[in-house]
Amino acid sequence: MATVAQEIKCSHCGAPIEFKPGEIVATCKYCGFTTVIETGQAYTFEHSLILNKFDQKTIDEPIHDWMNGGFLKPGDLAKKSKLTDRDLIYLPFWVVNVEAKSTYKGIFERIAPAIVKEGTISKEYDWLDLARAASGFPTHEYMVPLEGKIPFDFRKIEGFAKLLNSEMTQDAALEIAKQQIEDHHRFLLQQDVDKIVEIKTEFTAKQIVYLHAPVWFIKYEYKGKIYQLIVEGTGGTALKGDIPPSRF
Ligand SMILES: [Zn+2]
């Protein structure tokens, strides 16, 4: 199915804002103004940006570090690889700042006789949701350096970079965060109880921030095959990488 880009006019500068089906929040590439597509209204919440620290040359350094590190990789990987694609993409995220308090009841069976345990887990999170529907992006490997975020500034987006729009509403982001946090609490509870009988989680959402963060999508060729590597653009940490099989 062909994806047809549609257009609305930026209510701030009048330039056309292109967006694709499924996109819900769009940012004008000429002035940085952000609009909710359905309503055409300005997006009135906080929109932040994490700065990218690399260019298309300096990104090679963390890539080579990744290739040279770790004993599972072929020894000549850095030397014999050719970087074919270095694409900088600003990915859209929702950062949900929320307090979550789970009250639970469970059964502790590890020692006989089994006993019933009750308790609470109470934590505060900056929970990260990738605002794109389809993606193999490893969101949970990605520790976004939130302390480095600045108000969104379109002038900081490099000409060669691409900015993706959100395909998720703020409300949907909150629902996903709630569900994932409760799952996370269930996971944490495995230390305390062997069977969860009841769990109820109360959430207090304090703030939801729309955020663009720089991620490099790298392709490299090694011995005639193409592999992928994903590197975050703040510290140059590899988030996910295909490793060619090594012949020891
Ligand atoms: Zn504009």
CA distance 20 to 166: 10
Q: Is the pLDDT of residue 159 over 60?
A: yes
Q: How far is the CA of 31 from the centre of ligand 1 (A)?
A: 4
Yes or no: say if 199 and 188 are a contact pair by the CB < 8 Å rule. no
Going from the Cα of 49 to the center of ligand 1, the distance in angstroms, rounded, reads 17
Nearest by Cα to 207 from 82, 79, 49, 98: 98
CA–CA dist 17, 11 (Å, integer): 10
Reported as a pLDDT band with limits 50, 70 and 90, residue 135 is: low
User: Is the pLDDT at 2 greater than 60, yes or no?
Assistant: no
φ and ψ of 41, to 5 deg: -80, 155
**Phi-psi map region of 88: left, alpha, beta (phi>0 left; psi -120 to 50 alpha):** beta
Residue 65 clears pLDDT 70, i.e. is over it: yes
Distance 15 CA to ligand 1 centre (A): 5
Distance 42 CA to ligand 1 centre (A): 11
